[in-house]
Amino acid sequence: MATTIKPYNNHLPLNNQKTNISYLSPDQLDKLTESFLEYYEESERYRKARGRLWIVYLFLRYTGARLNEVLGINDTTDIDFRNNEVKIATLKQKKQIFRIVPIHTKAISELMLYLSQYPYMKGKIFKITDRGFQLGFKNVCQIAKIPLELSHPHILRHTRAIELLRSGVPVTIVRDLLGHSSLNTTAIYLRMSAQESKMILKDKGLI
């Protein structure tokens, strides 16, 4: 497993529940991003198609959104290029609601670069089938040597949640960014972070 931090388990149990939530370690996430970029740039023949996968990957990685939420983005109307924000239609709600999610400048700059190279793709970048992205994602995960059980797009949602909470972002803000209807759902990740902290302290002999 491509991780250098010993306490990482990637499958932390939730208290006494049987359910596990998996996520990528920082090393794995960095390797996956590096491999995705290389996958995009290495082939001139498939550059246009792979570029769309690269953009979708970056939006998944930096928003923590569900795959179909990202695939529903319209790059002509839903992205504020000046303020680095994206409007996302939140799924799994009784009525359609939208949330505004700040996004890393890297995702915006890569999108702008892609559009400068393929201007006729404007309005089409995110129009990919979920199956098509999943196949591409799994392929890049193999290149990055990500374990098979972690090689699915939803792993990026879990990973982003853990990343935000580790960085000190309040759980209520994480809830809003991820589009959770209940704070209890987001609190699952908070409990995971607490368990991981305990594992690190035990590993270092501090408790």
The alpha carbon of residue 142 and the mean position of all alpha carbons in its chain are separated, in whole angstroms, by: 17
pLDDT truncated to tens, each residue of the chain (207 aa)? Answer: 333 333 345 544 433 344 568 899 999 999 999 999 999 999 889 999 999 999 999 999 999 999 999 999 999 999 999 999 999 999 876 778 999 999 999 999 999 999 999 999 999 999 999 999 999 999 999 999 999 999 999 999 999 998 998 888 888 898 899 998 766 667 777 666 566 666 655 765 756
Could you tell me the domains of the chain? 21-153 (1.10.443.10)
Any idea how long the chain is? 207
CB atoms within 10 A of CB 173: 12
Contact 159, 23 (CB under 8 A): yes
d(CA 36, CA 28): 12
pTM, two decimals, is: 0.83
